[in-house]
Amino acid sequence: MSALSEMYHAIKAETDKAGATLVAVSKTKPVALIQELYALGHRDFGENRVTELLEKKEALPDDINWHFIGHLQRNKVKAIAPFVHLVHAVDSERLLREIDKQGRANERRIPVLLQYHIAAEESKYGLDPDAPGALLETIDFDDLAGVAVRGVMGMATYTDNDEQIAGEFDALAETFRYVGNKYFSGQESFRDISMGMSGDYPIALERGSTLVRVGSLLFGNRN
Ligand SMILES: *Cc1c(COP(=O)(O)O)cnc(C)c1O
């Protein structure tokens, strides 16, 4: 077995046990490595650049579930709207409305997650978990026929302090419950918490993650 397949099986055993989905983050990595995991039966891959995603999609089988995990610019939504499996990081009404528009144009509901800023580090991305409804109050989701809000996403602080990371993931899980109850009550489709990366996915699985996004631990460090 190659190092990649060995690591894949080890991580996959953990996500399976927790009932979570492993998103293999293949950004910057060659198509050949994606093919190697595809041959093992893996179908969920994550990218954070539209141009790179389109190139890889073109070169690979059609039944891959492409997750868009990074900041998505509004003018790039159209290019991925026909096929994207899940947009992980929606944090503005303007982006949400553009995804809705492109979803309608493609006669589909594009699945999305709302990104919350749970880390201590400064970031211009992510909704404020202390005001979880800020984006939601003004939107009538019955009018958004082109999107399906599936849950929430967040990134913990980059630190060795496991307690801090666990606390941040707990805050995201709490936000998930609050938003689900208040704005999507009774909707089974509101079900996902995307949290956990190479350095912290075991903690995320303990804290209720349903989608972990693992890149460098699988494929090796990025340059
Ligand atoms: C790159 C990236 C990941 C994967 O990070 P690793 O530490 O390499 O596992 C996960 N989520 C997002 C949003 C990313 O941009």
C-alpha 136 to ligand 1 mean position (Å)? 26
Instruction: Kindly report the protein residue whose alpha carbon is nearest to atom 5 of ligand 1.
Output: 215
C-alpha 213 to ligand 1 mean position (Å)? 6
Q: Is the CB of residue 198 less than 8 Å from the CB of residue 186?
A: no
pLDDT tens profile 85-144: 999 999 999 999 999 999 999 999 999 999 999 999 998 899 999 999 888 998 888 889
CA 64-70-73 angle, 5° bins = 105
* Strand, helix or coil for residue 209: coil
Q: Which atom of ligand 1 is nearest to the CA of 25?
A: 4
Mutate which of 71, 125, 213 for ligand 1 pocket (most atoms within 8 A of beta carbon): 213
- Computed over every residue of the chain, the mean pLDDT equals 96
CA distances from 105 to 72, 78, 87, 102, 109 (A): 18, 9, 17, 5, 10
C-alpha 50 to ligand 1 mean position (Å)? 15
- Which pLDDT does position 220 carry in this prediction? 94
pLDDT tens profile 152-171: 999 999 999 999 999 999 99
C-alpha 197 to ligand 1 mean position (Å)? 6
Report which residue type is found at 206. E
Predicted TM-score (pTM) of the model is 0.97
pLDDT tens profile 115-127: 999 999 998 899 9
Q: Is the CB of residue 129 less than 8 Å from the CB of residue 92?
A: no
